[in-house]
Amino acid sequence: MSTSSPSGTETGPAHRSVEAGVAVACIIFGIITVLGSLQVGIGWGPSGPLSGFFPFYLGIIIVLASLVNLKAALSLDRSKLFASWDQLGQVLAVIVPTTIYTIVLPYTGIYIASIVLIAGFMMWLGKYAWYKAILLGIAVPVAFYIAFEKWFLVPLPKGPIEYWLGL
């Protein structure tokens, strides 16, 4: 990673574009809400307002408020950065493993996935020696296993390896 670049010349997405993007996402969210409300009816039924009545107006308000936000976003200074690419790289370094972790979790079980996540994080971002990483990576899930399954009697998701170990 090249973290040595001076702060003045860092590049990254403009704050203005991100802000506008969020406002547009809100508008889309609002439109989806309005469409969904129309599907179930926004009028008046035998038991009062229909199911779509309340969310319909919520959707309208979201669209209107987001239009104001979009206008405000577009008048922002173009030169201000949202974050530098380096910083976003750091953020992605958390988002990507977390996403993989949450997706594989039901198949591998939470314990195996956690061992890989913690040990991987320590080796990749923390530059720890592999034996330290694996030691702690195993110790933490074991502690969670004892706390949750034995003490609180809360079952956590398990996969083939956990079943093979007889947990």
Partner 1 sequence: MLADIANLFHGFAVVLQPYNILLMVIGILLGVIVGVLPGLGGANGIAILLPLTFSMSPTGAIIMLSCIYWGALFGGAITSVLFNIPGEPWSVATTFDGYPMAQQGRAGEALTAAFTSSFVGALFAVIVITLVAPLVADFALEFGPAEKFAVYFLAFCSFIGMGKEPPFKTVAAMMMGFVLAAVGLDSVTGQLRLTFGFTELLNGFDFLIAVIGLFGIGEILLTMEEGLAFKGKAAGINPKVVWQTWKELPRYWMVSLRSCLIGCWMGISPAGATPASFMSYGIAQRISKRGHNFGNGEIEGVVAPETAAHAAGTSALLPMLALGVPGSPTAAVLLGGLLIWGLQPGPLLFVEQPDFVWGLIASMYLGNLVGLILVLTCVPLFAAILRIPFSIIAPIILVICAIGAYTVNNSSFDVILMAVFGVVGYAMKKTGYPLAPLVLAIVLGDQAEEAFRQSLLSSGGNLGVFFSNGLVSTIMVLALVALFWGAISEGIAKLRSQPKTA
Q: Is 14 a residue that touches partner 1 (CB under 8 A)?
A: no
The one-letter code for the residue type at 94 is V
Q: Where are the alpha helices (DSSP H) in 109-159?
A: 110-124, 130-145
Site for partner 1 (CB under 8 A): which residue of 14, 31, 65, 135? Answer: 65
Dihedral over Cα of 137, 143, 146, 151: its sign = negative
Contact 134, 119 (CB under 8 A): yes
Residue closer to partner 1 (CB basis): 2 or 47: 47
Residues 99-128 that bind partner 1 (CB under 8 A): 99, 101-103, 105-106, 110, 114, 117-118, 120-122, 125-126, 128
The CA-atom distances, in angstroms, between 162 and each of 74, 140, 141 are 52, 15, 12
What is the C-alpha separation between 19 and 58, in angstroms, rounded?
21
Sites of contact with partner 1 (CB under 8 A):
15, 18-19, 22, 26, 29-30, 33, 36-37, 39-40, 44-45, 47-55, 58-59, 61-62, 65-66, 68-69, 72, 82-83, 87-88, 90-91, 93-95, 97-99, 101-103, 105-106, 110, 114, 117-118, 120-122, 125-126, 128, 136, 140-141, 144, 148, 152-157
